[in-house]
């Protein structure tokens, strides 16, 4: 009788599908950002917390809880500023029904602004970032996770800094 052996690519696909199904938080691909010299452009990072799970908000109510954060590592010609997280939803859970926690569930939108530095040149730059979070369900919290994020920023030369007085 012949033994049937799956090709290595099929085995890898099965493992990656099984591993992906266990991810409690996923991050959408970040759309490329275009910005002119002397200007700023909005940035949106969308997180999806899987049903049945929650993550701590960016401002948990007690210091021992791990906040959800995105840390940016832009190239020296760019800055990422004004990072804004949504407010957390105050919820209590069966493990402690008398205590409310500030959490995110479902879709979470993190907003920021991308700015070219004054001496930046035109071109395409890659910004690396990392999402840090801790997911929990109604019974337990899981080890903290880090998810790499990368996106491109195209700096064009069409924007000129105008002399505005603020």
C-alpha–C-alpha distance, residues 144 and 110, integer Å:
19
Please indicate, yes or no, if residue 147 is contained in any of the structural domains: yes
The CATH number of the domain where 151 resides is what? 2.60.40.1250
Please, what are the averages of pLDDT over each run of 10 residues along the chain (166 residues)?
43 38 89 96 98 97 95 97 97 88 97 96 96 94 96 80 32
- Tell me whether residue 19 is in a domain: no
Within-domain flag for 33: yes
Pair 39, 113: CB distance under 8 Å: no
Domain range holding 94?
Answer: 25-156
10 within a domain of the structure (yes/no):
no
Local structure of 130: helix, strand or coil: strand
CA distance 26 to 153: 22
Residue carrying structure tokens 């030369």: 157
In a domain, 55, yes or no: yes
Phi-psi region of 74 (alpha: psi -120 to 50; beta: other; left: phi over 0): beta
Structural domain count, the chain: 1
pTM: 0.80
pLDDT for 83: 98
Residue 85: predicted pLDDT: 98
Please report whether residue 17 resides in a domain: no
Sheet holding 123-133, edge to edge: 33-36, 145-156, 123-133, 69-73
Q: Is residue 20 part of a domain?
A: no
What is residue 22's predicted lDDT score, i.e. its pLDDT? 73
CA distances from 127 to 37, 70, 112, 113 (A): 17, 12, 13, 12
Q: How far apart are CA 130 and CA 110, in angstroms?
A: 13
Model pLDDT, residue 165: 27
Q: Is residue 2 part of a domain?
A: no
Amino acid 16: pLDDT = 36
Rg (CA), the chain: 21
**CA distance from start to end of the chain:** 82
Say what the pLDDT of residue 3 is: 46
């Amino acid at each position: 009788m012949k033994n049937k052996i799956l090709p290595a690519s099929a085995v890898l696909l099965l493992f990656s599908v099984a591993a992906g199904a266990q991810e409690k938080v996923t991050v959408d691909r970040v759309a490329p950002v275009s910005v002119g010299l002397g200007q700023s452009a909005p940035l949106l990072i969308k997180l999806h917390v899987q049903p049945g799970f929650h993550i701590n908000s960016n401002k948990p109510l007690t210091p021992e809880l791990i906040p959800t954060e995105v840390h940016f590592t832009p190239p020296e010609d760019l800055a990422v500023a004004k990072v804004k997280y949504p407010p957390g939803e105050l919820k209590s859970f069966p493990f402690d029904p008398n205590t409310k926690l500030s959490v995110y569930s479902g879709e979470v939108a993190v907003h920021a602004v991308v700015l070219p530095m004054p001496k930046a040149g035109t071109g395409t730059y890659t910004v690396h970032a990392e999402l840090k979070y801790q997911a929990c369900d109604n019974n337990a919290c899981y080890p903290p996770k880090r998810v790499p994020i990368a996106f491109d920023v195209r700096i064009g030369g069409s924007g000129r800094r105008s002399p505005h007085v603020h």
